[in-house]
């Protein structure tokens, strides 16, 4: 067992709290729903980037390469100043939703280079221009661009010309659970010597201002000899910590409190406010920091002049014991840094290499291994302490849930039961610094590669009474917790359970039972709320696919009536299958669950048959061989909305192969199922007959029978339709020449193939499901193909790509899709990474070309990254698909089914350093 696995075991056994400190700061707290107290709910406009340096946050903190304890009491992050900017660089800058021509967008370059699951070693890179940061240019130039234009990026401003920038690398290494070593290295990439102000900053999250009686924590300088500065941090719940700063950098103290003069126009009650350090460093206002050397926010002010091509480092240490000072001299500095620092940091770095070397299959190339490791690093860096007490928040805005006279809140009015205060995996800590339920289910699929315990905890967390609505709904995201996301939680749950079972030899049945009970509530919510007519066809609104429909599916339809959604119904069929899998697993030792398994078999069959039946009013279009949403009009008429999109591919994803053990163990269940199917022959008339045995006598639950499967696959694998060079597109390319057009009430509604950004403001305008490739749904397609393969085996082949004459098994098809997805990131034969498109700097420069960004979605034709550019969240699933196909063989899948992959990877012996070094 390598050192990191030992730490994970100790954390699991509660022997050592290795996850207590981690990268739990957000990268953007301003512009969030939580900080928004405006009447109209204008989160972006209410609390701006410009205010952030001066206004204390209510619910959380942000910073560059931030680190904190798991309740975010004490925070550490990096601040920088190049001597040119009008403000310190304390947090990432980006455009708000209305400023960007494609919605909000961070305008900075930063990279998560490495991370271990206990955060024993973390590495982050920020690229800071030496010239003044072009804040105004970014806002103005993007403001002039329309939805048909590309975004204007930081690299386009020319601020990186002649390489006049700093590569600032931040590393954390844990000497103990409460002893964090910090090394900040500034590399001058420019042609001339330059000066950089480095301000490692420590502060307390402000809780004392917002609660009656909350004690005020304190930071104060501790007397030391030369060569060392020490800050003592004390907070009742956290205890005492010491930040040791090597050298004689001045310590600048202020308070993490709102500058009320600047924000509200009311005189400050203290001269030392949140932006005091900014005022001191940038404007020379020494009266803005406390000469008594105490406060609630402090920065050590290092001024580094570095020659061209050279670098300098700053070392700090945050620990719960004071640096020991032997009598006389500057022994404290020696103890904190000279002997115990670099060797420990190097050891943690080596241990990270070993951890990933053991995890990474031999079959992966060095470049693929680099992609996998950076994807996982991004996932681990994207953890964030998320704090939101909705009841309190409503009260603070005058919307007390039970008050007789109250203002209606602009959102989340019915979610006052919620209290969130946990470390959660975020989609993107700048663009989406809030959890999203269905994203999280995909995050777990990747995170469990490195930390199954954290994955389990995350899934369970969403089902806790502090999250799950009393009516059973899983919260969607803070913009509207009541929105409806696809129900993929059960899928992620059974996957995670099986993964742990395969690793440890024993599944956590109590965890699975607990999840199952809560998922039952959620399943029932879906059935009661989203099946309008009780005919087992479902709605759900946008269901995570933003602009995919011809109408905004979350809004009242311009035609009146309602939509029966192919994706909503398919998701529910998959939900049934996953619940059946869980119940069957639990029934192995607990007969009570056998009955539940039968319930879900029957429910699945009702839903699947409702979806697949033919005729004028069904979702299946026999002429096209595809599934469509059905529009039900108020006059009783109905019509299919013939948009060939991911909506119509999702029924293919509702497929699960079963080993039949449940029916063997419980013959009475088998008999009841036989009776049910015999008495309802119409149920299996249009779907795959679940009684037909396949490979190894497996059974298959699938909406698509073989004929329908082949027809849908022929479209999905057609390069002129869905199969793009970098994965399955969200919309068929067919619509490039054949836009779908619908005229309603004198207005034209249309869907065109848009492989890049959205051309409308629907759902914020920053996402696009009309052509680009999205990783999560590709992952589901791969999963389904492997399920079909374990049932149909090698005898079932299809032409892939359609029309190529090349026959493939469904395993090979799945592998081919995974290969295309990976090709987005991996350097091709031409030396270029498609993800970076035509950006020369990223393709050619040795200080850029191996740094990866895991975007939200990808151009449907050329693979260029689009949308949020640090959404390692669900795009991090690429780590899982890389690992999967480098681990399994098709014959193993046929023989072992799901267990073929869910096995402990064989450790490999050599240790390769795969992470790009800041040279």
Partner 1 sequence: MLTLTPKVVAIYVDRLTQQWVVRDEAGHLWALPNTETPWDDRQPFTPADEADLDPVPGHYKYLLGLPT
Q: Where does this chain bind partner 1 (CB under 8 A)?
A: 37, 39, 58, 209-212, 257-258, 264-267, 269, 395-398
Q: Which is nearer to partner 1, 416 or 729 (CB)?
A: 416
Token code pair at residue 84: 């040119």
Distance of alpha carbon 740 from alpha carbon 748, whole angstroms: 10
CB of 210 to partner 1, least distance (A): 4
CA angle, 189 then 194 then 195, to 5°:
120
Distance of alpha carbon 503 from alpha carbon 905, whole angstroms: 9
Distance of alpha carbon 885 from alpha carbon 440, whole angstroms: 23
CB 406 within 8 A of CB 399: yes
CB of 410 to partner 1, least distance (A): 13
Residues in CB range of 664: below 8 A, 6 or more apart: 670
Q: Which is nearer to partner 1, 254 or 778 (CB)?
A: 254
- Chain CA centroid to CA 857, Å: 12
| Per-position DSSP letters for 476-506, written without gaps between them | --TT-TTS-----HHHHHHHHHHHHHHHHSS
Token code pair at residue 47: 């609390």
Q: Which is nearer to partner 1, 130 or 207 (CB)?
A: 207
Helix (H, G, I), strand (E, B) or coil at 70: coil
Q: Which is nearer to partner 1, 112 or 393 (CB)?
A: 393
- Dihedral angle at the C-alpha atoms of 352, 355, 356, 359, nearest 10 degrees? -170
Per-position b or e across 551-581, b if 16+ CB within 10 A of its CB = bbbbeebebeebbbbbbbbbbbbbbbbbbbb
CB 312 within 8 A of CB 184: no
Residue holding tokens 């809140």?
409
Q: Which is nearer to partner 1, 203 or 740 (CB)?
A: 203
Q: Which is nearer to partner 1, 59 or 302 (CB)?
A: 59
Nearest alpha-carbon partner for 200 in 76, 50, 336: 76
Helix (H, G, I), strand (E, B) or coil at 203: strand
Q: Which is nearer to partner 1, 14 or 211 (CB)?
A: 211
Q: Which is nearer to partner 1, 161 or 266 (CB)?
A: 266
Distance of alpha carbon 654 from alpha carbon 344, whole angstroms: 49
Q: Which is nearer to partner 1, 57 or 774 (CB)?
A: 57
Q: Which is nearer to partner 1, 32 or 824 (CB)?
A: 32
CB of 408 to partner 1, least distance (A): 15
CB of 764 to partner 1, least distance (A): 24
Distance of alpha carbon 647 from alpha carbon 539, whole angstroms: 12
CA angle, 755 then 761 then 763, to 5°:
90
CB of 260 to partner 1, least distance (A): 8
> Largest Cα–Cα distance in the chain?
92
Q: Which is nearer to partner 1, 246 or 257 (CB)?
A: 257
Q: Which is nearer to partner 1, 214 or 891 (CB)?
A: 214
Distance of alpha carbon 641 from alpha carbon 124, whole angstroms: 47
CB of 90 to partner 1, least distance (A): 22
Q: Which is nearer to partner 1, 47 or 763 (CB)?
A: 47
Token code pair at residue 682: 């119409």
CB of 49 to partner 1, least distance (A): 19
Mutual orientation of helices 3-12 and 342-359 as an angle, nearest 10°? 90
CB of 419 to partner 1, least distance (A): 16
Token code pair at residue 324: 């020991």
Nearest alpha-carbon partner for 166 in 189, 139, 192, 200: 189
Distances (CA, A) of 443 to 177, 305, 411, 512: 25, 41, 26, 18
| Per-position DSSP letters for 224-251, written without gaps between them | --TTEEEEEEEETTTEEEEEEEES-PPE
Nearest alpha-carbon partner for 874 in 357, 437, 569, 384: 437
Helices (H), 592-635: 592-612
Distance of alpha carbon 124 from alpha carbon 769, whole angstroms: 31
CB 207 within 8 A of CB 181: no
CB of 399 to partner 1, least distance (A): 10
Q: Which is nearer to partner 1, 7 or 387 (CB)?
A: 387
Nearest alpha-carbon partner for 826 in 363, 428, 369: 369
CB 95 within 8 A of CB 102: no
CB of 71 to partner 1, least distance (A): 18
CB of 396 to partner 1, least distance (A): 3
Q: Which is nearer to partner 1, 415 or 811 (CB)?
A: 415
Q: Which is nearer to partner 1, 275 or 816 (CB)?
A: 275
Q: Which is nearer to partner 1, 210 or 675 (CB)?
A: 210
**DSSP run (H or E) holding 319:** strand 311-319
């Amino acid at each position: 067992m390598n050192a990191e696995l030992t730490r994970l075991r100790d954390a699991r056994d509660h022997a050592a709290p290795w996850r207590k400190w981690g990268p739990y700061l957000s990268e953007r707290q301003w512009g969030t729903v939580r900080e928004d107290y405006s009447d109209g709910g204008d989160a972006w406009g209410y609390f701006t980037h410009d205010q952030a340096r001066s206004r204390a946050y209510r619910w959380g903190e942000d910073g560059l390469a931030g680190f904190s304890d798991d309740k975010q009491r004490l925070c550490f992050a990096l601040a920088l100043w190049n001597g040119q900017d009008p403000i310190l660089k304390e947090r990432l800058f980006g455009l708000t939703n209305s400023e960007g021509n494609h919605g909000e967008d961070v305008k900075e370059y930063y990279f998560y280079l490495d991370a271990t699951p206990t955060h024993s070693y973390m590495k982050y890179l920020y690229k800071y221009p030496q010239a003044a940061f072009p804040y105004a240019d970014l806002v103005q130039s993007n403001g002039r661009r329309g939805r048909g234009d590309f975004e204007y990026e930081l690299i386009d401003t020319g601020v990186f010309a002649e390489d006049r920038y700093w590569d600032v690398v931040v590393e954390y290494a844990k000497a103990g659970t409460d002893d964090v070593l910090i090394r900040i290295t500034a590399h001058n990439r420019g042609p001339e010597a330059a000066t950089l102000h480095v301000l490692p900053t420590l502060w307390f999250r402000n809780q004392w201002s917002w609660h009656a009686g909350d004690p005020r924590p304190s930071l104060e300088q501790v007397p030391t000899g030369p060569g060392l500065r020490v800050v003592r941090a004390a907070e009742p719940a956290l205890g005492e910590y010491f930040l040791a700063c090597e050298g004689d950098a001045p310590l600048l103290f202020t308070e993490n409190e709102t500058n009320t003069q600047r924000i509200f126009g009311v005189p400050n009650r203290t001269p030392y406010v949140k932006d005091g350090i900014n005022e001191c460093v940038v404007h020379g206002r020494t009266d803005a920091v406390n000469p008594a050397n105490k406060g609630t926010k402090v920065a050590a002010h290092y001024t580094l002049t570095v020659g061209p091509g050279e670098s300098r480092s700053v070392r700090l240490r945050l620990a719960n014991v004071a640096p020991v000072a032997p009598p006389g001299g500057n022994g404290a500095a020696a103890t904190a840094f000279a002997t115990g620092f670099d060797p420990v940091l190097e050891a943690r770095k080596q241990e990270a290499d070993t951890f990933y070397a053991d995890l990474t299959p031999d079959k992966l190339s060095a470049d693929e291994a680099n992609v996998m490791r950076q994807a996982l690093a991004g996932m681990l860096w994207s953890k964030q302490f998320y704090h939101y007490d909705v009841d309190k928040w409503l009260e603070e805005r005058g919307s007390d849930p039970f008050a007789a006279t109250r203002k209606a809140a602009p959102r989340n009015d019915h979610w006052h039961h919620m209290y969130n205060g946990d470390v959660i995996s975020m989609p993107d800590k700048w663009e989406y610094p809030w959890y999203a339920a269905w994203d999280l289910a995909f995050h777990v699929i990747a995170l469990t590669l490195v930390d199954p315990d954290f994955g389990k905890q995350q899934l369970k967390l969403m089902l806790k009474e502090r999250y799950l609505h009393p009516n059973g709904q899983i919260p969607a995201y803070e913009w509207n917790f009541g929105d409806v996301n696809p129900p993929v939680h059960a899928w992620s749950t059974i996957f995670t359970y099986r993964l742990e079972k395969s690793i440890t030899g024993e599944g956590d049945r109590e965890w699975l039972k607990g999840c199952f009970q809560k998922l039952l509530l959620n399943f029932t919510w879906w059935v009661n709320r989203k099946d309008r007519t009780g005919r087992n066809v479902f709605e759900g609104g946008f269901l995570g696919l933003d602009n995919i429909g011809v109408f905004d599916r979350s809004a009242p339809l311009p035609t009146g009536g309602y939509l029966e959604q192919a994706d909503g119904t398919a998701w529910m069929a998959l939900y049934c299958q996953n619940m059946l899998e869980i119940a069957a697993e639990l029934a192995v030792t607990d007969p009570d669950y056998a009955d539940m398994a039968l319930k879900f078999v029957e429910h699945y069959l009702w839903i699947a048959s409702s979806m697949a039946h033919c005729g004028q009013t069904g979702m299946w279009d026999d002429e096209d061989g595809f599934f469509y949403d059905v529009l039900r009009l108020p006059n009783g008429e109905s019509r299919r909305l013939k948009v060939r999109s991911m909506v119509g591919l999702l029924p293919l994803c509702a497929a699960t192969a079963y080993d039949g053990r449940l029916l063997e163990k419980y013959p009475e269940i088998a008999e009841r199922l036989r009776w049910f199917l015999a008495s309802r022959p119409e149920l299996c008339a249009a779907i795959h007959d679940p009684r037909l045995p396949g490979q190894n006598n497996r059974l298959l639950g699938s909406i698509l029978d073989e004929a329908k499967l082949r027809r849908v696959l022929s479209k999905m694998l057609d390069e002129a339709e869905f199969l793009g060079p970098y994965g399955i597109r969200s919309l068929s390319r067919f619509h490039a020449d054949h836009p779908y057009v619908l005229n309603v009430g004198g207005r034209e509604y249309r869907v065109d193939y848009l492989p890049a950004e959205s051309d409308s403001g629907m759902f914020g305008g920053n996402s696009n499901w009309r052509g680009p490739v999205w990783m999560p749904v590709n992952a589901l397609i791969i999963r389904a193909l492997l399920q079909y393969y374990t049932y149909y085996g090698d005898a079932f082949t299809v032409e892939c790509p359609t029309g190529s004459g090349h026959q493939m098994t469904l395993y090979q098809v799945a592998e081919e899709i995974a290969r295309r997805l990976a090709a987005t990131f991996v350097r091709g034969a031409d030396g270029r990474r498609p993800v970076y498109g035509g950006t020369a700097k990223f393709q050619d420069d040795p200080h850029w070309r191996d740094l990866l960004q895991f975007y939200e979605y990808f151009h449907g034709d050329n693979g260029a990254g689009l949308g949020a550019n640090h959404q390692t969240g669900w795009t991090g699933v690429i780590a899982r698909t890389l690992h999967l196909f480098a681990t399994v063989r098709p014959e193993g899948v046929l023989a072992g089914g799901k267990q073929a992959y869910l096995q402990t990877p064989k450790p490999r012996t050599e240790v390769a350093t795969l992470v790009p070094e800041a040279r």
